[in-house]
């Protein structure tokens, strides 16, 4: 018997900060609006209205570059209190639909509406009602994706933007994903995307033709995620905010550094320690986050949601490194780096579909944890950590 599908809705407000500014200043409606830091300083775009995006402006772009692309844009410095207030109001609407709401950022949430049909009607209708209520009650445009998993719902939502509602029926996940460019898959950034393209993988459908063994051989642990992702398989649950926790580590370098090898080893060590902490508490993590601080103390955080939660250091490390690659220009010195994990939940050593094949990995990790417990944290480290030079600084929790 086939299990009944879950129904997950991903809600994402469109150009949230810019949309709030339009509400606050109705005269600006439809104009290119950029919310962000001081254009004369080193600020970046926090949010751009769709009129500004038409010029190629996007968030995280340096303000100076954004203004070269769109000189007539209205620049507004962010009103964070106002955004927080509106965000809470929207989350309130979502929690009236179901308590199973997982807020993943100020303007994004997953809802698990499995079984809510009795109360609110078919899922698609439910989505339309949510979108209408957010607009009528808060004046904010939003996009929704509806599917049987968080992975597919989030991608569907992005496909419909702005003001979209994309519904992927049960059983059509793989067909829906197939034509999309490979970078749309969670965890596939520029570096991994380029590696895949170099092997002729341009779409998620191309990826789905690869065998599991082949992917693992080429991409290590990330290969497993790719295999599942290409099939739209994602069993991760929607966790209401109460259950969300996080752990992190960061390290300040003794001297600001642009040494990639040093940073890489530091990141590997932090991933090892975080994974060991997860396993000790029988937790798995859904989201990997990095933090970078530059010598001028400006700080950036970026995160990626995994299609399968993990407690494995190599998975954490590979995603953290991929993120870092994307946001750390060569030659720019760093003052501090951090790796964090969130979306933690009880999972112990369960890896779902791959239980059997992961046994060796899991036994190895368990053995390492035991030795660390008996002989101290420093007893075992991966070979590449041993080369770490003294100047690399200290770890702090």
Q: Give catalytic residue positions.
A: 108
Number of residues that bind Mg ion (CB under 5 A): 4
Phi, psi angles (nearest 5°) of residue 320: -65, -40
CB of 18 to Mg ion, least distance (A): 10
Instruction: Work out the burial of residue 277: count CB atoms within 10 Å of its CB; fewer than 13 is exposed, 13-18 middle, 19 or more buried.
Output: middle
| Contact map string, positions 277 to 306, toward Mg ion, x by CB under 5 A | ------------------------------
CB of 105 to Mg ion, least distance (A): 8
What's the DSSP call for residue 237? P
Stretch that binds Mg ion, among 9-17, 47-55, 123-131, 380-388 (CB under 5 A): 9-17
Stretch that binds Mg ion, among 14-22, 51-59, 244-252, 355-363 (CB under 5 A): 14-22
Q: Which two tokens stand for residue 6?
A: 């879950």
CB of 106 to Mg ion, least distance (A): 8
Q: Is 102 in the site for Mg ion (CB under 5 A)?
A: no
End-to-end CA distance of the chain: 48
| Contact map string, positions 62 to 101, toward Mg ion, x by CB under 5 A | ----------------------------------------
Residues 105-124 that bind Mg ion (CB under 5 A): 107
HSE (side-chain half, CA atoms, 13 Å) at 198? 7
Phi-psi region of 38 (alpha: psi -120 to 50; beta: other; left: phi over 0): beta
Q: Which is nearer to Mg ion, 17 or 253 (CB)?
A: 17
Of 342, 171, 174, the closest CA to residue 248 belongs to 342
Residues 18-47 that bind Mg ion (CB under 5 A): none
Stretch that binds Mg ion, among 10-18, 23-31, 78-86, 92-100 (CB under 5 A): 10-18
Q: Which is nearer to Mg ion, 13 or 192 (CB)?
A: 13
Q: Is 12 in the site for Mg ion (CB under 5 A)?
A: yes
Q: Which is nearer to Mg ion, 150 or 224 (CB)?
A: 150
Q: Which is nearer to Mg ion, 15 or 185 (CB)?
A: 15
132-141: long-range contacts (C-beta < 8 A, 24 or more apart)? Answer: 133/93, 134/11, 134/13, 134/90, 134/93, 137/89, 137/93, 138/86, 138/89, 138/90, 138/93, 139/23, 140/13, 140/14, 140/16, 140/19, 140/20, 140/23, 140/86, 140/90, 141/13, 141/14, 141/15, 141/19
CB of 107 to Mg ion, least distance (A): 4
Q: Which two tokens stand for residue 173?
A: 């996940």
CB of 161 to Mg ion, least distance (A): 8
Beta bridge partners, 166, equal 145
Q: Which is nearer to Mg ion, 60 or 170 (CB)?
A: 60
Sequence-ordered list of residues with C-beta below 8 angstroms from that of 331, at least 6 positions apart, any chain: 258
Q: Which is nearer to Mg ion, 184 or 231 (CB)?
A: 184
Residues 209-248 that bind Mg ion (CB under 5 A): none
Contact (Cβ atoms closer than 8 angstroms) between residue 292 and residue 252: no
Q: Which is nearer to Mg ion, 17 or 227 (CB)?
A: 17
Q: Which two tokens stand for residue 306?
A: 């995994």
Stretch that binds Mg ion, among 102-110, 131-139, 323-331, 341-349 (CB under 5 A): 102-110
Q: Is 141 in the site for Mg ion (CB under 5 A)?
A: no
Alpha-carbon separation of residue 199 from 25, 167, 188 (angstroms): 49, 31, 14
Binding site for Mg ion (CB under 5 A): 12-13, 16, 107
């Amino acid at each position: 018997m086939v299990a009944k599908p879950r129904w997950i809705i991903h809600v994402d407000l469109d150009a949230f900060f810019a949309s709030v500014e339009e509400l606050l200043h109705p005269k600006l409606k439809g104009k290119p609006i950029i919310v962000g830091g001081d254009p004369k300083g080193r600020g970046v775009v926090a949010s751009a209205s769709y009129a500004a995006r038409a010029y190629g402006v996007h968030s995280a772009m340096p303000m100076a570059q954004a203004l070269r692309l769109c000189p007539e844009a209205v620049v507004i410095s962010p009103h964070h209190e106002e955004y927080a207030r509106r965000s809470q109001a929207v989350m309130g609407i979502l929690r009236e639909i179901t308590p199973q709401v997982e807020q993943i950022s100020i303007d994004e949430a997953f809802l698990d509406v499995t079984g809510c049909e009795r109360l609110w009607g078919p899922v698609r209708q439910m989505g339309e009602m949510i979108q209408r209520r957010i607009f009528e009650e808060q004046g904010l445009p939003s996009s929704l994706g509806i599917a049987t998993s968080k992975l597919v719902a989030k991608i569907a939502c992005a496909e419909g933007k702005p003001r979209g509602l994309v519904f992927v029926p049960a059983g059509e996940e793989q067909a829906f994903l197939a034509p999309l460019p490979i970078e749309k898959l969670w965890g596939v950034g520029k570096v991994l995307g380029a590696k895949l393209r170099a092997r002729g993988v341009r779409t998620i459908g191309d990826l789905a033709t690869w065998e599991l063994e082949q992917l693992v051989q080429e991409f290590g642990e990330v290969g497993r995620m790719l295999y599942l992702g290409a099939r739209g398989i994602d069993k991760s649950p929607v966790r209401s905010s109460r259950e969300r926790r996080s752990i992190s580590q960061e390290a300040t370098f003794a001297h600001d550094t642009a040494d990639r090898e040093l940073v890489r080893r530091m990141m590997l060590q932090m991933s090892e320690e975080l994974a060991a902490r997860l396993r000790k508490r029988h937790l798995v993590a859904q989201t990997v986050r990095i933090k970078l601080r530059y010598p001028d103390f400006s700080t950036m955080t970026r995160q990626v949601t995994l299609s399968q939660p993990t407690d494995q250091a190599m998975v954490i490390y590979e995603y953290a490194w991929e993120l870092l690659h994307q946001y750390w220009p060569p030659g720019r010195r760093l003052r501090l780096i951090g790796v964090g994990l969130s979306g933690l939940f009880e999972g112990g050593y369960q890896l779902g579909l791959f239980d059997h094949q992961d046994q060796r990995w899991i036994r190895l990790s368990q053995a390492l944890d035991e030795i660390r417990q008996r002989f101290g944290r420093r007893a075992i480290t991966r070979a590449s950590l041993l080369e770490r030079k003294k100047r690399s600084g200290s770890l702090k929790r």
